[in-house]
Structure 1
Amino acid sequence: MERIKIATGLLLLFIIAPASAGTIPGAKEAWGYVDVREGAHMFWWLYYASGELGSHKHLPLVMWLQGGPGGSSCGFGNFEEIGPLDRDLAPRNTTWVKAANVLFVDNPVGTGYSYTDTEDALTKDVAMIAADMLVLLKSFFTSQKDFQSVPFYIFSESYGGKMAAAIALELTKAIEESTIKCNFAGVALGDSWISPLDSVLTWGPYLYSTSLLDDYGLGEVTKAAKAVELAVEQGQFQKATELWSITESVVEQNTNGVNFYNILTQDPDERAVKLSDRAGYMAALKRRHVQPLHRNSLSELMNGPIRKKLGIIPKNVSWGGQAGAVFSSMEGDFMKPVVDIVDQLLAAGVNVTVYNGQLDLIVDTIGQELWVKKLKWAGLPYFTQQRWTALDDPSAPGQTGAFFKTYKNFAFYWILKAGHMIPSDQGPMAMKMLRMVTQQE
């Protein structure tokens, strides 16, 4: 296999030329590790835009961040949502590579192929996550000079949105201080864990309004959610995380095992596990919010043919091997809101987009709208007064696929018939949104 290996500071770059398992014919890819701290090694994977030769210089660069924390962008985001191939290594019609250069990063360290030498090197909060990512981005834009002038967007999903907000703010500061050279164009927060409490407090009303709770169940879920609220108000965030897990169990018991990621889909086997679960709360949280991103079929792909293709994964590192430890390490930060960071981004003139799936429960749209209304941004009253605009569903002409509203540097997209993983549920609509956010439509 022919490789071009470039060593630039802490960055190792590999570009693969010939075809191999998981390689897209005629496409250009690159991947590598960045040592973001001593004992902390972060993996990234870049797909160049699949247009005409050299089109990558004329199309935006999108970095995709997964949730969890502990979910792998290079695995789940790539092969289950927006990458050029699906997990069966078949071409994806709605890949974002058709409209952008796509950079996947296994973040925070310990996620996916990223790893730490010891558990002590795992991140503890989003500030630490942002600091690590700034090291990676500085290395990336230093070595990939073609992308320094290309519009750069950060797109995210779930807990990835919380990380994206913090990263975007630190990146904005770094650009102002001239420590990173890039054309940062905006951040998009998809079904994002920006205000955890607003999500939890609206689970009951949302489920009740969709006939998934009766009056008794609504009372039980509301009582459990109020306990989370009290812990947050008292600043007991680790306790709030534990009570959040208990609230999820209460929801599952009263809804016959509703799917937190899409209320209209249900896996019978997974439901049985949920309803019989007696494990500790951290084990339950990892089962609900990390394992769905690392199902056996995806793990077999990433630890088999993809690992072989990449050729640089250390022998002692397995894809997703540290995911549970990542989640546990972030336990004390998990329930903390970052609404103030979004406010700072808007005040700094950064383009901020919020997008959410209609059928998502874990980060329901009602909760998203609540934290948006808490913004101190001067433009909020004007944004609120705007009427939303309907968007046709590209896959079903004549039917509404989404609504959106925008004012100055803030936009909100309501994606219909989609759950937590919008590109998986509504790929064509997600592509249309991508093109609109990146100003290609």
Structure 2
Amino acid sequence: MALFAPLFIFFFFLSVLLSTGLSSPLPGKEVWDYVEVRPGAHMFWWLYYPDNPSAQYQDLPLVMWLQGGPGGSGSGFGNFEEIGPLNRDLEPRKTSWVQAASVLFVDNPVGTGFSYAERPDGFATNVSTVASDMLVLLKHFFTRIPEFQSIPFYIFSESYGGKMAAAISLELSKAVAEGSVKCNFAGVALGDSWISPLDSVMTWGPYLYATSLLDDNGLADVNSAAQKVKQAVEQQQFLQATELWSVTETVVEQNTNGVNFYNILTPEPDEKFTSTAGENFISLQAHRHIRPLHKQSLNELMNGPIRKKLAIIPQNVTWGGQAEEVFTKMAGDFMRPVVDIVDQLLTTGVNVTVYNGQLDLIVDTLGQELWLKKLKWEGLPSFTQLRWTPLDDPASPGITGAFYKTYKNFAFYWILKAGHMIPSDQGPMALQMLKMITQQD
């Protein structure tokens, strides 16, 4: 049986918030629940209704946020570090997306965040399973809260979350057409997304060289390592490609004195990992890319006050406790591209937006541009011929904060002065982009 949290029990929320040190309840309403998507596989979701004094939730879109990793938690990192109503210190966030939408955080794949698997075969091993699991959850969600069935529903994503979002969107569009899921699916936004892993890896060297983070020798080393990844991908040796991707990242670090893959102009994360002798590549990559999403302070918040507030987390489940296993189970699927899925979305008329941070390395804009040119979508030549339009930074009027262009059901946003986590780096610009994509500006 799926665990259950009754809707809108205001005074319960108030008492828990006060007992956990939060000075007052959040404005508006929240609701959360578990869904058993497969036997022994449980997914957690958390919905925030909008906090907008001039609009009711019926008048604003519903946005689902999917984190990366795989193994990064939307209920934790996306919520308290990026777009939720409160930041990690439980202070109001000025650029929270609840100003413009209802926001649904889902901890996926199974095992991420507060989601959990009861046994080893409960984890997903590919995006196909991730998508089918999400469809079970969405069917549950829209059945349980039917007033959202007619509200425009968007999927926003970041990093590996974009790869999952593409697969989920394709299956959701089919399910909506068949009538098995009732919702008003309005589009998907792919942020700094792992759509074509090889195109990202192959452009690391040129990008770092152009930004003076590699010399000629370093460029040769990085390009040589990347070429081995390419050979493995071309031979369909995807697990080996993931291992060689790990090796390439090590080569990058050695030649750049430890560049931050998430933002080339900021120091490495405070909780820097150190590799140990005999550590396998999966553990190494989990440390590199999962640990930054589970900072100690965030871990303490989620397994302390937030866990107590939610009051439905099983005693044997800790937030992030299965994150590394999630990453491990997906390793064989990690380097597979999903460009063909994006092509199918565009061809079937789904609204697709790509957005990328100028300072991101792990999914650099050069790589995004490369896979974009591989699309077979008939609108691509017309899109390519368009000139982009500058957008003022909302926080600095008169200063360009982004560029964008759009043609038919495809749009691209180039976000300046932002790395991998755009809402963290450029919150006002990210909020404006959200409003534009959901047709509020």
The letter of the residue matching 1:419 is G
SS at match of 2:4: strand
Where does residue 193 of structure 2 map in the other structure?
192
**Displacement of 1:357 after TM fit?**
0.2
CA distance 1:344–1:181, shift in 2 (3 Å): same
CA distance 1:419–1:278, shift in 2 (3 Å): farther
For residues 147 and 421 of structure 2, the distance between their equivalents in structure 1, rounded to whole angstroms, comes to 31
Q: Are the equivalent residues in 1 in contact too, given 2:31–2:46 (CA < 8 A)?
A: yes
Alignment of 1:7-406 (within 5 A): 10=2, 12-14=4-6, 15-18=8-11, 19=14, 20=17, 21=20, 24-52=25-53, 55-267=56-268, 273=273, 279-406=279-406
For residues 264 and 165 of structure 1, the distance between their equivalents in structure 2, rounded to whole angstroms, comes to 29
SS at match of 2:91: coil
**Displacement of 1:135 after TM fit?**
0.2
For residues 439 and 33 of structure 1, the distance between their equivalents in structure 2, rounded to whole angstroms, comes to 31
Superimposed CA distance per residue, residues 183-223 of structure 1 (whole angstroms, 9 cap, x where no aligned partner): 00000000000000000000000000000000000000000
CA distance 1:268–1:109, shift in 2 (3 Å): closer
The letter of the residue matching 2:226 is A
**Displacement of 1:261 after TM fit?**
0.1
CA distance 1:247–1:270, shift in 2 (3 Å): farther
**Displacement of 1:95 after TM fit?**
0.2
CA distance 1:348–1:277, shift in 2 (3 Å): farther
Q: Are the equivalent residues in 2 in contact too, given 1:43–1:106 (CA < 8 A)?
A: yes
Q: Are the equivalent residues in 2 in contact too, given 1:253–1:275 (CA < 8 A)?
A: no
For residues 55 and 395 of structure 2, the distance between their equivalents in structure 1, rounded to whole angstroms, comes to 29
Q: Are the equivalent residues in 2 in contact too, given 1:257–1:275 (CA < 8 A)?
A: no
Q: Are the equivalent residues in 2 in contact too, given 1:252–1:274 (CA < 8 A)?
A: no
SS at match of 1:94: coil
Q: Are the equivalent residues in 2 in contact too, given 1:119–1:325 (CA < 8 A)?
A: no
Where does residue 6 of structure 1 map in the other structure?
none
CA distance 1:248–1:114, shift in 2 (3 Å): same
Moved more, 262-271 or 215-224: 262-271
Where does residue 415 of structure 1 map in the other structure?
415
Q: Are the equivalent residues in 2 in contact too, given 1:189–1:353 (CA < 8 A)?
A: yes
* Identical positions, percent: 70
**Displacement of 1:119 after TM fit?**
1.7
For residues 300 and 11 of structure 1, the distance between their equivalents in structure 2, rounded to whole angstroms, comes to 23
SS at match of 1:35: strand
CA distance 1:16–1:302, shift in 2 (3 Å): farther
**Displacement of 1:279 after TM fit?**
2.9
For residues 60 and 183 of structure 1, the distance between their equivalents in structure 2, rounded to whole angstroms, comes to 10
CA RMSD of aligned residues (A): 1.5
**Displacement of 1:27 after TM fit?**
2.0
**Displacement of 1:53 after TM fit?**
8.7
For residues 159 and 258 of structure 2, the distance between their equivalents in structure 1, rounded to whole angstroms, comes to 20
For residues 276 and 106 of structure 1, the distance between their equivalents in structure 2, rounded to whole angstroms, comes to 30
**Displacement of 1:16 after TM fit?**
4.0
For residues 303 and 365 of structure 2, the distance between their equivalents in structure 1, rounded to whole angstroms, comes to 35
Gaps of 5+ in 2: none
Gaps of 5+ in 1: 1-8
CA distance 1:301–1:217, shift in 2 (3 Å): same
Superimposed CA distance per residue, residues 329-356 of structure 1 (whole angstroms, 9 cap, x where no aligned partner): 0010000000000000000100000000
